[in-house]
Structure 1
Amino acid sequence: MNEIEIQGDFFEPLSPKSQEARMVVQGDRIAIWRGEKRLADGLEIRSIHQEESIFFRCGRQFRAKTPLPATFLTARRTKMQNFIAWLEEFSLARALALSLILLALIFAYRFVFMAFGETMAQVFPDAWERQIGRNAYRGMALLYFSESHVSAERQKNIQRRAADMARKASLVRNPEILFHAAPRIGPNAMAFPGGPIVVTDELVALLDADEELLGIIAHELAHVEYRHSLEQIIDIVGVSVLAALLFGADDTIMEEISAVAINVWAFKNSRDFEREADSKGVGILEKAEISKTHFLSALGKLVRHACRDKSAKAREQCITGTKSGWLSSHPPTAIRIESLSGR
């Protein structure tokens, strides 16, 4: 097994002070030595910057005195990173190759992803979708969510009944239901890709009965089941997804997709998505023997809350086409209620 020794400066976690040291690489094993003393062993690389600085997962850093050997870099980059490094070494042939790739990506995005976003969403790996959802939820939690004040008993009861609804409806996906206070968002429920579904305390306070909450949750379960949020993300970052499929997904691509997912709850959902979720949600309620009137009642309360500060004249227009809160990306509530009432 070939051994590589690289001279440089070694930094302990969070320390600005360096020590002259050498990095010894044997296959996948990396150790740091200073003279005859071993400072660290079994290090795992988190990232490499500018072909000289190595950041390890434990927080340590090594900065080489000369550019890192090409064999070392190639073996430890992802396919995508190696491809980008190859393109950075300019030549006419590589510039032409990059131009052709960009044209192909633009063509694929315009004519493939936009036309087959639904198909892409359905074949997208479940594990990736859940990872995107978890990352997006954590991002939202840092920005908007705080600990819920809904009693633990009530939370567990709603979670149990929601899981029972999903089971009776034979849903493929049964996401976790979480509760958070979110005064900056207000009465809301949001489904992250693959779950979880977050219900705000403000929504719990607005809706009197648990059955009304379950009506809203059934709607969100339908979004998760149909992978609507994922389809939106694919439509927005389709080129990144294509790159992941071509060159192998890495953490950077997944982080970029997750960043988009943080804001997906505020996007304008297509009305087709909402009609699908309404219809499927009512079906979920019916199989759980919960009347759809609870969902319709919840819609009415949400729209009245959204329009509460309007003048009497403007309130009627607001109710037929509200643009705030949970209803901001949905078709006019009056039309939804009329459509669902006729089922």
Structure 2
Amino acid sequence: MRKNKLVLAIIFLLIIIGFLWISINSFATERDLAKEQQLGKKLSIDIEKKYEVVEDLNQNLSITEIGNKLAKASELEGMKYHFKILKIDGPNAFSIPGGYIYVTYDLFDYIQSDDELAGILAHEIAHIIHNHALKQTRDNTKYNLLTILAVLLTREPDVALLGKLTTITFLNQYSRDYEEEADLTAIDLSIKVGYNPVGFLTYLERQYTREMFKPSVDLGIFQTHPDTKDRVAYVKETLEEKGIEIDKRATTNYLKVNIKYIYERSFCTGTIYIDNISILNLSFPKNHEIYLKMIEATQNLDKFLTVDLSPYEINIFIEGTTSTLLIRNDKIISLDDSETALLNKSSREVLSETKDKIRRALWEFKLSQPF
């Protein structure tokens, strides 16, 4: 009796092992990179017939160089990536199975750094790494991944199935889980290659601002897709968890600081700007030490100015006839009354005006970028 029970137990165990082996084997063969690339090539031909491929040497070199660095870090062996620019209105990017990634030409007027471009390309590469397009098609149909590939690679593919795949990829109609997985993978890829992942955050924030001011524009955000506001929130949270400093000026041209000089006879006038707002204007004799002070002040302002700076963090310290402009206790510039005499103002008056103008520049920036 015991012997029979033992035999039955062994048989049962073998059956379980058999099922597990079949499941593991099925999972391992769930993906066929060769067929994915074959499908990608087929789809790319149709896309490039419909939309003009832009042959811009500089921009193509840019997406290819950045894209290939990220692709190499993806560690998806056997996948060859292709990066191309399409002439389609509006800033956008999308990917299709088989390693094909497209960006619109308008995107280059929208991004502000290589770090932002890297974040966008990393996001599309992530969709390919995780096979999201075919998985989303599977989720929306009754087919498994290999069946979808087989059907789409026939001479006359299922039109409805092809339509679903095209809609998913071209309009970024991914589920919340897939989109979040692509966002978080994009952060890891950017870090791995050496690009600042804050660039992906600043791009998403600007996209969110665009949606706020242009609610009628369909950006491919559907009910099953996470709102850009939510994406901004969890991307920012992830960066903070990784201990990454969120310096948004490092990946953008936000609050751009510069200096200009005008020379007249024996005098020079220097003006420091934040964006297009003049915040400090001084006139002084040529070769005067104020010239170097203005340069140092520009460098300090560029170093210590941040997008989240609060008005109360900009102060003036006065000691005798000398006034010092401070941002979060960091010195920007010190001026003596003798150095502002040509303006018929005390150093305190001049730097008080500068403080107010910095606050104005910050206010105008926050009005334009309400994230």
Measured against the shorter chain, the TM-score band is 0.5 to 0.7
- TM-score, structure 2 normalization: 0.49
Q: Which residue of 1 aligns with 2:193?
A: 288
**1:23-44 deviations in Å (ceiling 9; x for gaps):** xxxxxxxxxxxxxxxxxxxxxx
Whichever of the two has the greater Rg, that structure is 2
| 2:244 is the alignment partner of 1:337 | no
| TM-superposed deviation, 1:331 | 1.0
CA RMSD of aligned residues (A): 3.4
The higher-RCO structure (CA 8 Å, 6+ apart) is 1
2:207 counterpart residue number: 302
Question: In structure 1, how many angstroms separate the alpha carbons of the residues matched to 2:176 and 2:109?
Answer: 27
Is 295-304 or 215-224 further displaced after alignment? Answer: 295-304
**Is the contact between residue 82 and residue 100 of structure 2 (CA under 8 Å) also seen in structure 1?**
yes
Residues matched between the structures, number = 211
Give ranges in structure 1 of 5+ residues lacking alignment: 1-115, 311-317
CA-to-aligned-CA distance 1:90-126 (integer Å, 9 cap, x gap): xxxxxxxxxxxxxxxxxxxxxxxxxx9xx76972322
- Structure 2 contact 39–149 (Cα < 8 Å) conserved: no
Equivalent position of 1:126 in the other structure: 33
**Alignment-derived partner of residue 117 in structure 2:** 213
After TM superposition, the structure 1 = structure 2 runs for residues 185-224 of structure 1, keeping only pairs within 5 Å, are 186-224=90-128
2: distance between equivalents of 1:242 and 1:196? Answer: 19
Once the two structures are superposed, the pairs formed by residues 100-111 of structure 1 within 5 Å of their partners are none
Contact 1:165 1:285 (C-alpha < 8 Å) held by counterparts: yes
Alpha-carbon spacing, 1:243–1:217, altered in 2? closer, same or farther (3 Å): closer
Contact kept, 8 Å, 1:122 with 1:227, in 2: the verdict is: no
The 5 Å alignment of 1:130-279 reads 130-143=37-50, 145-148=51-54, 151-172=56-77, 173-183=79-89, 186-239=90-143, 250-253=154-157, 257-265=161-169, 266=171, 268-279=173-184
Matched letter for residue 178 of structure 1: K
Listed one character per residue, the Cα deviations across residues 34-75 of structure 1 (whole Å, up to 9, x for unaligned) are xxxxxxxxxxxxxxxxxxxxxxxxxxxxxxxxxxxxxxxxxx
Gaps of 5+ in 2: 1-22, 239-371
C-alpha distance in 1 between matches for 2:144 and 2:74: 34
Q: Tell me which stretches of 4 or more aligned residues in structure 1 moved more than 6 Å.
A: 119-122, 240-247
SS of structure 1 residue aligned to 2:103: strand
CA distance in 2, matches of 1:289, 1:334: 26
Q: Secondary structure at the match of 1:214?
A: helix
1:157 to 1:244, Cα distance in 2 relative to 1, 3 A? closer
Report sequence identity in percent: 24
CA-to-aligned-CA distance 1:285-335 (integer Å, 9 cap, x gap): 00011111100011112222233335xxxxxxx9xxxx8325556412222
